[in-house]
Amino acid sequence: MSLLGQVAIAGIGDTDYAADYAANREKETRRALPSESAGYAIRALRHALDDAGLDKSDLDGLVVGPTLAYERTAELAGLDVRWAAQADAAHAIIEAAAAISAGLASCVALVYGNNQRTAGVQYGGPRAASGQAHRAYVYYAPWGLTSQGGLYALMANRYFQLYGIKPADFGQLAVRQRAFAAQNPRAVRREVITTEDYLAAPYVVEPLRLLDYCMVNDGGVALILTSAKRAAQLAKPPVLIDGVGWSDLNDGATSLAPRFRDFYHSAHRQAADQVYAMAGCGPRDIDCVQIYDSFSCHTLFALEGFGYCGEGEALSYLSTDAAPPVNTSGGHLSESYMQGWNHQVEAVRQLRGEAGGRQVAGCRRVQYICDAAGKVATLIFSGGAA
């Protein structure tokens, strides 16, 4: 079965990450921050409905992100729906698109909210978030090994050792994303950084430095999905979902075996085969790539696993003209850590031609790739306004 061109993103919304981060940091009371995660999600939902030219009474489906409780979120938004699910960014889009194409819902809101900064969420140590879902984040505490960052540092170091990577070259990932963020007024981190700045940044878990890590900030994202036909009647040019791919690695997850075996490439390849066959295109046809980047090194594993370049070649590939721009909003490193959701908004902005100073000229196809903890999902979007 193919989803090619049947379902569209008709509306996008997000919160003002930079202003909320500053207010949070300075304990500023003049700017009202939502009192709970769902408040951020609903603030973004309001923007997304306005963007699409829809009213909330038009919605008959809802997907909430993993940090939200479904009933609570729907209650706060006053939403009674006929279909609902809870899923991560790419999976939320895949499930909503499948539901729309199966006739279970016609107009679905996908919402994410996270008050992780205000709430002091810890991603490592004795109270590491997601330790229930991902045992490896907490299992090795007696030896001091904890956090998704610690696990990606082990993967990154293996990659460094196998391919002789130099820190200054690796640092270009963070430097390049920050340069995009400097062109994005919504980004939390907009000051340009140099290779020297990168090399002067402290290690968190070596070889990963603070500038290789995502931020921890509050915010919300919302998307409105509907049929391509209906989207064509709405306020903004539709962004079509041309293909999806999904392949998860769970066997040996706590032992870290799939990380060291091949940097998750077996799942990358399966998801790549699925998405490119469905969308009828390949890496060379993609104008812009959005990659889930809780850490900079995700970019290398994703580009190599999806066939943009050979194994061990991503850093040199990215320095050539053949490489598409990656994480043009600044991504999790510099725009906002919305666990893959802000990447969908950036894909839509690029395809609508709304990306301002960071706009990719002639952008017609954008790919999103996520491989968090070996759960690989990918999407290819198309649009023609840029």
Partner 1 sequence: MTAAPRRVIPGRLPGRDDDAFWAYLAAGEVRIQRCGECGQWRYPPSPVCARCLSEAAQWLPVEGTGELLSWATFHRRYFSVLDPPYTVLAVALAEGPIMCGDLRGPDHIQDPAELRLGLPMRLVIEPAVFEDGQECSIFGWQVAEPGKGGTP
Is 124 one of the binding residues for partner 1 (CB under 8 A)?
yes
For residue 55, count CB atoms less than 10 angstroms from its CB and return exposed for 0-12, middle for 13-18, buried for 19 or more: exposed
Of residues 4 and 154, the one with the C-beta less far from partner 1: 154
Of residues 205 and 272, the one with the C-beta less far from partner 1: 205
Q: Measured from the CB of residue 22, what is the shortest distance to partner 1 in angstroms?
A: 24
Q: Measured from the CB of residue 151, what is the shortest distance to partner 1 in angstroms?
A: 9
- Single out the residue of 11, 13, 207, 245 in contact with partner 1 (rule: CB under 8 A): 207
Is 317 one of the binding residues for partner 1 (CB under 8 A)?
no
Using the contact rule CB under 8 A, the part of the chain among 11-19, 168-176, 198-206, 275-283 near partner 1 is 198-206
- Single out the residue of 35, 194, 255, 319 in contact with partner 1 (rule: CB under 8 A): 255
The string of DSSP letters for 321-346 reads TTSPPB-TT-HHHHT---TTHHHHHH
Single out the residue of 21, 11, 45 nearest to residue 236, CA to CA. 11
Q: Measured from the CB of residue 292, what is the shortest distance to partner 1 in angstroms?
A: 20
Rounded Cα distance between 212 and 293, Å, is 9
Q: Measured from the CB of residue 208, what is the shortest distance to partner 1 in angstroms?
A: 8
- Single out the residue of 139, 274, 285, 354 in contact with partner 1 (rule: CB under 8 A): 139
Of residues 157 and 274, the one with the C-beta less far from partner 1: 157
Q: Measured from the CB of residue 162, what is the shortest distance to partner 1 in angstroms?
A: 7
The string of DSSP letters for 220-245 reads EEEEEEEEHHHHTTSSS--EEEEEEE
Q: How many CA atoms lie within 13 A of 155 on its CB side?
A: 30
Is 155 one of the binding residues for partner 1 (CB under 8 A)?
yes
Is 211 one of the binding residues for partner 1 (CB under 8 A)?
no
Is 214 one of the binding residues for partner 1 (CB under 8 A)?
no
Using the contact rule CB under 8 A, the part of the chain among 79-87, 100-108, 142-150, 190-198 near partner 1 is 142-150
Show the 3-state SS of 14-29.
Answer: ECCHHHHHHHHHCCCC
Single out the residue of 222, 176, 133 nearest to residue 318, CA to CA. 176
Of residues 168 and 257, the one with the C-beta less far from partner 1: 257
- At a CB cut-off of 8 Å and minimum separation 6, what does 33 contact? 20, 23, 24, 115, 118, 218
Is 162 one of the binding residues for partner 1 (CB under 8 A)?
yes
Of residues 21 and 263, the one with the C-beta less far from partner 1: 263
What tokens does 341 get? 């959701």
- Single out the residue of 5, 106, 140, 183 in contact with partner 1 (rule: CB under 8 A): 140
Is 4 one of the binding residues for partner 1 (CB under 8 A)?
no
CA angle 326, 53, 89 (to 5 degrees): 35
What tokens does 274 get? 């699925």
For residue 322, count CB atoms less than 10 angstroms from its CB and return exposed for 0-12, middle for 13-18, buried for 19 or more: exposed
Please measure the distance between the N-terminal and C-terminal CA atoms of the chain and give it in whole angstroms: 29
Backbone angles phi, psi at 366, to 5 degrees: -125, 135
Using the contact rule CB under 8 A, the part of the chain among 34-42, 246-254, 308-316, 378-386 near partner 1 is 246-254
Could you tell me how far CA 199 lies from the centroid of its own chain? Answer: 26
- Single out the residue of 142, 191, 284, 362 in contact with partner 1 (rule: CB under 8 A): 142
Using the contact rule CB under 8 A, the part of the chain among 35-43, 109-117, 201-209, 375-383 near partner 1 is 201-209
Backbone angles phi, psi at 51, to 5 degrees: -60, -40
Of residues 57 and 161, the one with the C-beta less far from partner 1: 161
Query: Restricting to residues 91-120, which ones interact with partner 1 according to CB under 8 A?
Result: none
Helix, strand or coil, per DSSP, at residue 304: helix
Is 201 one of the binding residues for partner 1 (CB under 8 A)?
no
Is 202 one of the binding residues for partner 1 (CB under 8 A)?
yes
Kindly list the residues in this chain that would bind partner 1 in the complex (CB under 8 A). 124-126, 135, 138-147, 150, 153-158, 161-162, 202-208, 251-252, 254-257, 260
